[in-house]
Structure 1
Amino acid sequence: MLTLHRAALVLPDPADPTAPSHLDGAVLVRDGLVEAVGPYAELAAAQPTARVRDWGDALLTPGLRHPDGHRLLERAYHPDPREELGDAPVPDGLVGEADEARCGASARRGLQRMLGFGVTAVAGPFERGSVRTAVARSGLVALPGAGSPGPVGRPGSVWSLDPLVGLPFAEAVHGRLVVGGRADFAVFAPGADGPRAGGCRAAVLGGRLVFRRR
């Protein structure tokens, strides 16, 4: 199936200030891969039968990487909504935890909540088998590395699900939107202070819409 994702601004490579951007742009996705990136009018004319997802005044970019996946998924606990503890990670809530089923369930909730911030890649290492399985099944890209040696950017950011708490947008972006590459990207509402202020509207992994803010 062909899907055309339209947005007011498409930035295929925010990490490169010289890379082209597209006002009223679009990303054409086929079978989980990027087939084309460019002006919406041109892509729509070339593929008139493509399904269109129009994100309006939003910014569409590659998804974000979270550098603290190890801490957030193997040390922090992500509460079940039935526990009425909120949805913020509990720092070190899994330290000493031997119940792999509980760790895996926590990791699945954490990964789902990361999608709500536009995260499409997360850094390990992941030492628990239940967490590795949760990451593999989530569709997020698992990145090598030991995470960051301390809080990224501002104090407390090491326990935040939002990588933009500690990283500039250009550094937080994972990869580029290129023809033939995997269709992983995020859609952000416009904000005066950038994507973090506007918030994430949607996340796409391998061409699948896996998060959409209601």
Structure 2
Amino acid sequence: MLTLHTAELLVPAAGSAPLPGGAVLVEGDRIASVGPYEALAAAYPHARARRWPGVLTPGLLVRGADTLLERTYYPDDPYETAELGTDPISGQDALEALKLTEARWGNSARRGTQKLLARGVVAVTGRFAIPAVRTAVARSGLTILPPAPYAGTPALDPLAGRDAAGEAFHGVLEQGAPARFAVFAVPDAAALLAQGATTCVATVIGGRLLHRRR
């Protein structure tokens, strides 16, 4: 099935000129074409259209995801939040007090990956030592990349500490490329950097809509 994703502004890659009213045509897990929505809609009249508000960009990359998912615990809402609160828990003493099992780490990682998808993340770097966490990340659809040097503290928002939104992009939107991208409810890339990745309204990986803001 062909699906045509369009937004008010399309940013195909870091440093590329934005395309107003641009669209990405997806076939299977690949991008079949990129261009103006009107032209693609006319060329592929049977494609299912998804219209999104804001800016459509390549998906984002989070570095140091092993810190975010193996050394940070995300309380289960609503079962644990009355006791533990809603904020992520980190720090050796606090984590040791929780007496976490591998199964609980895996469940926490699943909640953590959902938070990443809700921020337009499509890929992470890190080396996961806990099998249940590694399985949770793999099943989430996120691409796992080897650890890489980076400055700063790992954060759920991959735009934190960046000088430009494009620094967090993973890949480019072009014909034949993997269909992984995100849409943010902001007017342009500068606003995306200022307002952060929590403005994400949709995340697509492998042609599948894995997050959609309700």
Same fold (TM over 0.5): yes
TM-score for the superposition, normalised by structure 2: 0.87
Q: Which residue of 1 aligns with 2:31?
A: 34
**Against the structure 1 CA distance between its residues 94 and 130, is the aligned structure 2 distance closer, same or farther, given a 3 Å change threshold?**
farther
TM-score for the superposition, normalised by structure 1: 0.87
1:104 touches 1:130 (CA, 8 Å); kept in 2? yes
1:69 touches 1:147 (CA, 8 Å); kept in 2? no
Q: Does 1:138 align with 2:129?
A: no
Q: Which residue of 1 aligns with 2:208?
A: 208
Percent identity, please: 50
2:64 touches 2:147 (CA, 8 Å); kept in 1? no
Between 1:66-75 and 1:79-88, the stretch displaced more is 79-88
- Structure 2 unaligned spans of 5+: none
Q: Which residue of 2 aligns with 1:155?
A: none
Q: Distance in 2 between matches of 1:83 and 1:99?
A: 15
Whichever residue aligns with residue 90 of structure 1, its letter is I
Report the CA distance between 1:89 and its aligned residue. Answer: 2.1
Report the CA distance between 1:185 and its aligned residue. Answer: 0.5
SS of the equivalent of 1:204 reads: strand
Report the CA distance between 1:98 and its aligned residue. Answer: 5.8
Whichever residue aligns with residue 200 of structure 1, its letter is C
Q: Distance in 1 between matches of 2:85 and 2:46?
A: 43
Give the counterpart of 1:106 among 101, 104, 108.
108
Count residues with an aligned counterpart: 203
Mapping of residues 51-66 of structure 1, within 5 Å: 51-56=48-53, 58-66=54-62
Give the counterpart of 2:67 among 67, 71, 81.
71
Q: Distance in 2 between matches of 1:43 and 1:12?
A: 16
Q: Deviations over 1:85-119 (max 9, x none)?
A: 45432123546956111111111100001111111
Compare relative contact order (CA 8 Å, sep 6+) and give the higher one, 1 or 2: 2
**Against the structure 1 CA distance between its residues 115 and 144, is the aligned structure 2 distance closer, same or farther, given a 3 Å change threshold?**
same
- Structure 1 unaligned spans of 5+: 153-157
1:94 touches 1:103 (CA, 8 Å); kept in 2? no
2:75 touches 2:88 (CA, 8 Å); kept in 1? yes
Q: Deviations over 1:14-72 (max 9, x none)?
A: x2x2x34321010000111100011001100110000000113x100011100120100
Whichever residue aligns with residue 204 of structure 2, its letter is V
Q: Distance in 1 between matches of 2:67 and 2:172?
A: 26
Whichever residue aligns with residue 127 of structure 2, its letter is P
Whichever residue aligns with residue 88 of structure 2, its letter is P
Q: Which residue of 2 aligns with 1:12?
A: 12
Q: Distance in 2 between matches of 1:91 and 1:66?
A: 18
Q: Distance in 1 between matches of 2:19 and 2:52?
A: 14
